[in-house]
């Protein structure tokens, strides 16, 4: 199998087994994309990994991780109106951050073309909700393509570029988690490096680019006309297609991953069963091809709308059928569960059985045994956040209020730490904590914030807390990276995606914003951190505690790559252990294993020997093992 770099830059046509995120990057290369911006967030980080596989000097486009999704969107917009084909990508809820500018894009003449790649997350595999961003397509009048496979990711990006350049409008390419990470053999076209004319091409004559009142209606009218042009184009393209199973009684309209699951469900039907339903698979999901849908409805007695998450297609199709006085029975969602989760084959089978009980065999009621016990998410061995939460909990009263934010430290909500009782979105913690502090003279308020999230969305809240003198403590959990999404760099890490840069120190940022009272320590210094938090929460007004320790997963990986990693372990001195179990019940590093008789031992495969746990044992029964040893005595 070829190296990823060779797949991305191959000159000749080829077919290679890749995931959807990698197929997207190859399409970017072939399309002549010139500028790409992003903010990391699952399920999209592997897009950047595929970009990183291309050496910077050979990369045919500029790429950066911007400080947040709004910035990334605006950068791509600026590049596009300067004549360069641009792309921006981020995860589902990232569109909320970008929305202020995103909803304006359709009003503008994007002379270079622009594709917005969104990684939606049905099932909330790595997100705080199941946000369905098809609504944003309708809200903003920006057409949306939805691939179902890595091959379609590749093909539909090229299609999106063609539409965008032709109409000078943005196009959304909506990926979902399984499409991003699905793997298949993808057929790519050839590619010849282009000679780019990078002469600045921005001209206000292509505008207007300032949507003041007198211009808004002409700009919106132009956007709606483009929207309808794309609808007309759908009728002549094969983005939408019908699979004719010669069944005039039943049809299904679907798209994306639900289409693949439907194929799995239907392929096992016996020949002697009734015919499989006809299928209309939509690739262009906004705007809808009215002519094709109306024709499909008229040809069937019953049509099932099979879509993940919200009833976006269902409402539009039912409205269309009502206007045209079509009597076809249209079956949509039939209960709350239909609105939730990924449409896996099992779920699609259940949905179809409810609407057409005779179509599929009865579901087996036999319970499947689960060979693996449920495993809760947890922080890695040696994680500095664990060493922070342990003393912070001791410093606070059990009635004090703690506010979580997005990041690895969100896991502090779980037992035994129970730090962070409310969570909304990235950067919210200082603002929500400020609200909780009002009319509150009895319970201290502590907000947590990661260093990456501080730069992403946390700065306005800090400014607001200083400006309005809110009474709370911010604990800034600094680990030097964007850990949860794959260790991407941020402004304080001293390096961006492309090169080393001067770091923007977190403490100096806080000082520059006017925070007067700042405490700072390594989280492994647990006693010192506890003292600092006690002092901070006893003060009035807004203050900050910087709880710093590098991400140990990233740190140990880098040491291994450099050949400097020392394999150390800890062990339990059983003669000193009196089975207080603070290491298990309070510190809760996953390396500690508890037996039924109360004995504690160390799982060597997990232990990284960082020693942060030694100070947590009241009897000092946790000690370093001798070189090559470990486990238990």
**Number of domains the chain is built from:** 4
- Within 10 angstroms of residue 312's Cβ, the number of other Cβ atoms is 22
What CATH number is associated with residue 615?
A: 3.30.70.20
| Residues counted in the chain | 633
Express each pLDDT in 71-82 by its tens digit. Answer: 999 999 999 999
- Tell whether 365 is covered by a domain: no
Q: What are phi and psi of 51, to 5 degrees?
A: -65, -40
What is the percent of the chain where pLDDT is above 70? 96
Measure the CA–CA gap between 314 and 308, rounded to whole angstroms.
Answer: 11
Least confident interval from 116-125, 278-287, 375-384, 530-539: 375-384
Q: Residue 376 falls within a domain, yes or no?
A: no
User: What 8-state DSSP symbol labels residue 495?
Assistant: B
Tell how strand 592-594 and strand 600-602 pair up: antiparallel
Q: What's CA 211's distance to the chain center, in Å?
A: 31
- Write out pLDDT tens, residues 161-204: 999 999 999 999 999 999 999 999 999 999 988 888 878 889 88
Same domain, 267 and 315: yes
Is the pLDDT at 230 greater than 80, yes or no? yes
Average pLDDT over residues 412-441: 94
**What number of other Cβ atoms are within 10 A of residue 538's Cβ?**
10
| Lowest-confidence segment of 274-283, 521-530, 544-553 by average pLDDT | 274-283
Question: Do residues 33 and 175 both lie within one domain?
Answer: yes
- Quick check: helix, strand or coil at residue 127? coil
Looking at the fold, whether 126 and 170 belong to one and the same domain comes out as yes
Same domain, 413 and 477: yes
Q: How far apart are the first and last CA of the chain?
A: 47
CATH number of the domain where residue 351 is located: 3.40.50.920
Q: Which of 285, 189, 183, 170 is nearest to 239 (CA)?
A: 285
- Give the Å distances, CA to CA, from 101 to 70, 97, 106, 130: 7, 9, 10, 22
DSSP assignment letter at 303: E
Q: In whole angstroms, what is the distance from residue 309 CA to residue 154 CA?
A: 24
pLDDT in tens, 466-498: 999 999 999 999 998 888 888 888 888 888 888
**Torsion angle of alpha carbons 419, 425, 431, 436, nearest 10°?**
-50
DSSP string, 458-490: IHHHHHHHHHTT--EEEEEEE-SSBTTTT-B--
Task: Judge if 197 and 249 occupy the same domain.
Answer: no
Write the CA distances from 477 to 451, 519, 522, integer angstroms: 6, 12, 10
Structure pTM? 0.89
pLDDT-derived band at 373 (thresholds 50, 70, 90) equals low
CB 243 within 8 A of CB 281: yes
Q: Are residues 545 and 581 in the same domain?
A: no
Res. 629: pLDDT tops 50: no
**478 in the same domain as 329:** no
Q: H or E segment at 255? A: strand 250-255
Query: Does residue 542 sit in the same domain as residue 595?
Result: no
Q: Is residue 409 part of a domain?
A: yes
Query: Does any domain span residue 368?
Result: no
User: Residue 223 is part of a domain; what is its CATH number?
Assistant: 3.40.50.970
* Domain housing 455: 384-558
> Which letter does DSSP use for residue 15 in this model?
E
Question: How many Å apart are CA 497 and CA 470, to the nearest integer?
Answer: 36
Please state, in angstroms and rounded to a whole number, the distance separating the CA atoms of residues 87 and 397. Answer: 49
- Asked whether residue 172 is domain-assigned, the answer is yes
Task: Evaluate whether 72 touches 100 at the Cβ level (below 8 Å).
Answer: no
Q: Say which DSSP state 515 is in.
A: -
- Give the C-alpha separation, 582 to 226, whole Å: 64
């Amino acid at each position: 199998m070829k190296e990823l770099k060779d797949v991305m830059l191959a000159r000749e046509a080829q077919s290679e087994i890749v995931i959807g995120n990698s197929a997207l990057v190859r399409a970017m290369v072939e399309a002549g994309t010139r500028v790409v911006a992003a903010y990391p967030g699952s399920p999209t980080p592997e897009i950047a990994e595929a970009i990183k596989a291309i050496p910077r000097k050979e990369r045919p486009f500029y790429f950066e991780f911007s400080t947040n999704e709004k910035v990334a969107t605006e950068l791509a917009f600026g590049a596009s109106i300067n004549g360069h084909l641009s792309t921006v990508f981020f995860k589902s809820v990232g569109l909320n951050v970008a929305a202020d500018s995103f909803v304006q894009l359709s009003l503008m003449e994007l002379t270079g073309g622009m594709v917005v790649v969104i990684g939606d997350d049905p099932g909330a595999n790595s997100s705080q909700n199941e946000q369905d961003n098809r609504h944003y397509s309708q809200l903003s009048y920006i057409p949306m393509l939805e691939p179902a496979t890595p091959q379609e990711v590749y093909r539909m990006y090229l299609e999106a570029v063609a539409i965008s350049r032709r109409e000078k409008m943005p196009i959304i390419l909506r990926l979902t988690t399984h499409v991003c990470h699905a793997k298949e053999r993808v057929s790519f076209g050839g590619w010849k490096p282009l000679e780019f004319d990078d002469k600045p091409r921005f001209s206000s004559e292509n505008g207007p680019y300032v949507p003041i009142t007198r211009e808004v209606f002409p700009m919106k009218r132009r956007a709606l006309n483009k929207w309808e042009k794309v609808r007309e184009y759908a009728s002549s393209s094969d983005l939408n297609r019908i699979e004719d199973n010669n069944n005039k009684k039943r049809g299904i309209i679907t798209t994306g991953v639900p289409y693949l699951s439907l194929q799995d469900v239907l392929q096992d039907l016996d020949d002697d069963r009734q015919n499989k339903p006809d299928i209309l698979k939509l690739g262009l999901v906004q705007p809808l091809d009215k002519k094709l849908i109306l024709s499909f409805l008229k040809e069937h007695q019953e049509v099932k709308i099979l879509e993940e998450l919200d009833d976006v297609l269902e409402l539009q199709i039912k409205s269309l059928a009502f206007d045209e006085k079509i009597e076809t029975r249209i079956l949509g969602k039939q209960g709350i569960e239909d609105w939730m989760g990924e449409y896996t084959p099992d779920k699609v089978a259940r949905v179809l059985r409810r609407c057409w009980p005779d179509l599929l065999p009865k579901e087996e009621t036999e319970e499947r045994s689960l060979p693996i016990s449920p495993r809760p998410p947890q922080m890695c061995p040696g994680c500095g956040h664990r060493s922070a939460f342990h003393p912070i909990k001791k410093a606070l009263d059990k009635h004090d209020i703690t506010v979580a934010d997005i990041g690895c430290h969100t896991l502090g909500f779980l037992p035994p730490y129970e730090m962070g009782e409310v969570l909304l979105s990235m950067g919210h913690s200082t603002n929500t904590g400020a609200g909780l502090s009002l009319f509150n003279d009895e319970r201290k308020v502590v907000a947590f914030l990661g260093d990456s999230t501080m730069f992403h969305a946390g700065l306005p809240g800090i400014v607001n807390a200083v400006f309005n003198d809110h009474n709370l403590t911010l604990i800034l959990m600094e680990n030097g990276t964007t850990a949860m999404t794959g260790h991407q760099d941020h402004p304080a890490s001293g390096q961006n995606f492309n090169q080393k840069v001067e770091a923007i120190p977190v403490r100096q940022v806080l000082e520059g914003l006017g925070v007067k009272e700042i405490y700072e320590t390594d989280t492994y210094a647990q006693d010192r951190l506890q003292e600092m938090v006690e002092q901070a929460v006893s003060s009035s007004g807004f203050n900050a505690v910087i709880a710093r320790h590098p991400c140990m997963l990233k740190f140990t990986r880098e040491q291994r790559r450099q050949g400097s990693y020392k394999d150390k372990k800890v062990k339990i001195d059983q003669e000193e252990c009196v089975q207080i179990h603070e290491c298990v019940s309070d510190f809760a590093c996953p390396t500690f294993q508890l037996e039924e008789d109360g004995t504690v031992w160390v799982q060597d495969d997990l232990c990284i020997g960082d020693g942060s746990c030694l100070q947590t044992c009241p009897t000092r029964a946790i000690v370093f093992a001798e070189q090559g040893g470990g486990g238990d005595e």
